[in-house]
Amino acid sequence: MNSHSSSENSEAYIALGANLGDREATLLEAIHRLNRHPEITILRCSSLYETDPVGYVDQPNFINMALALQTTLEPEQLLTVMLQIELDLGRERHIHWGPRTVDLDLLWMEGRTLDTPRLTLPHPRMHERAFVLVPLAEIVPATETTGLYPYVQHALTSGGGKEGVRLWKECSWPSASGHSAN
């Protein structure tokens, strides 16, 4: 019996960050909300990293992490779900690069390139952000076939660096292997 749906499953990578309130609880709630969506399954979750603010520095440190997920949604549909979760969890956009309860960024989706007013794939600045690359490197397997693994490895060794990114704690999200596949 083939349980494969008519739309194709894509593997997507998301960066998450928070620096207001209970940062860890907010990130875990965002993961739960993503995973509750009928067309999204969380595959892997990086450790949580405490990171220094970039750009607008007069604000608390961030907790950053990355997720790998599987979805039948198109990139812009996935972005819409992510933006709604940000809103539901209290995100307000006042200061560019300013403090936020939660920030979800779609980084990569099956190596697809996209450039619309709402979304650019791959994420245009991820190669210069250690707070994205370090958690991402943890969850991208060397066997990944869409080009993300060499992209991340190259960015980390060519100046992405790891300064200002400190391992904070393991993610308490259950591993994907612990779930039964529907």
Positions marked active-site: 91, 100, 103, 105
Tokens found for residue 21: 């309130």
What does the alpha-carbon distance between residue 55 and residue 172 come to, in Å, rounded to a whole number?
29
* DSSP string computed for 88-143: HTT----STT---S-EEEEEEETT--EE-SS-EES-TTGGG-HHHHHHHHHHS-TT
The residue type of 97 is W
Q: Are 65 and 173 in contact (CB under 8 A)?
A: no
Name which of 65, 77, 66 is nearest 10 in CA terms. 77
Name which of 164, 160, 162, 167 is nearest 53 in CA terms. 164
